[in-house]
Amino acid sequence: MGREIKCPQCGKATVYSTDNPFRPFCSKRCRLIDLGEWASEGYQIASEPGLDDYSTGLEPEEQPFTPTRH
């Protein structure tokens, strides 16, 4: 079995084990709600202030040119 934890999305008690395919969430619904928050930038990871490129830490003049798709 596994230990009982709170679902990070809804707070419902759920078992954290390999028997729960949605761990650490209690259900597919809670897992998808969490994924949607990341995708819509509802959740963000803080970075050092003043950095323009959060993935590399490079200053704008140090960054290689990469075209973006729109």
Domain-embedded: residue 70: no
Tell me whether residue 42 is in a domain.
yes
CA pair distance 41, 13, nearest whole angstrom? 27
The reply to whether 50 falls in a domain is: yes
Query: Which letter, b or e, does each residue of 30-39 get, where b requires 16 or more Cβ atoms within 10 Å of its Cβ?
Result: bbeebeeeee
What domain range includes position 58? 3-62
24-33 long-range contacts, Cβ below 8 Å, gap at least 24?
Answer: 33/9
Q: Per-residue pLDDT tens for 21-42? A: 999 999 999 999 999 998 888 8
Q: How far apart are CA 70 and CA 59, in angstroms?
A: 23
Q: Is residue 67 part of a domain?
A: no
Phi, psi angle pair for 35, to nearest 5°: -60, -40
Query: What is the band of 13 on the pLDDT scale with cuts at 50, 70, 90?
Result: very high
The pTM assigned to this predicted structure is: 0.61
Could you tell me if residue 68 is inside a domain?
no
For residue 37, the domain's CATH number is 3.30.50.10
Q: For the chain, how many structural domains are there in total?
A: 1
